[in-house]
Amino acid sequence: MKIVILGCGRVGALLATMLDREGHTVSIIDQSNSSFQRLPGEFGGNEFVGNGVDEEVLLRAGIKEADAFIAVTNGDNRNIMASQMAREIFKVKKVVCRIYDPIREETYREMGLETICPTVIGAQGLFDAVTDKK
């Protein structure tokens, strides 16, 4: 699969590494060149410096041919906007968007965006660990 990842923070870099190792074609975008240092030396994907809500940058990263787009910058709004562009403008089939704020996450999930909320997942995991429900 051709996969475009927006955001090379800890999660973006680890995800890119995992997908690259599985043989997928990975493009990863980040505003800061130094973020790509999180990727291992053997990373075979392509790195793009730029703003992910800029169409030009998404096009350079190959969004038109992408099978999947994942938005994992540290900004909820940036992730939401980029995901909507990937879905609505570039018709990417699989789009997943990270949203930290549970309220915004619910809203955009109801609007049809595929979302992941680390806040809810984290709190639920800890709740289960403490109350021994896991």
What mask of x and - would describe binding to its own copies in positions 2 to 41, judged by CB under 8 A? -x------xx--xx--xx--x-------------------
Three-class secondary structure assignment of the chain: CEEEEECCCHHHHHHHHHHHHCCCEEEEEECCHHHHHHCCCCCCCEEEECCCCCHHHHHHCCHHHCCEEEECCCCHHHHHHHHHHHHHHCCCCEEEEECCCHHHHHHHHHCCCEEECHHHHHHHHHHHHHCCCC
Within positions 100 to 119, which residues make up the interface with its own copies, using CB under 8 A? 100-102, 114, 116, 118-119
Tell me the number of residues near its own copies by CB under 8 A.
33
When the beta carbons of 58 and 76 are compared against its own copies, the nearer one is: 76
Residues engaged in binding its own copies (CB under 8 A) = 1, 3, 10-11, 14-15, 18-19, 22, 68, 70, 72, 94, 96, 98, 100-102, 114, 116, 118-127, 129-131
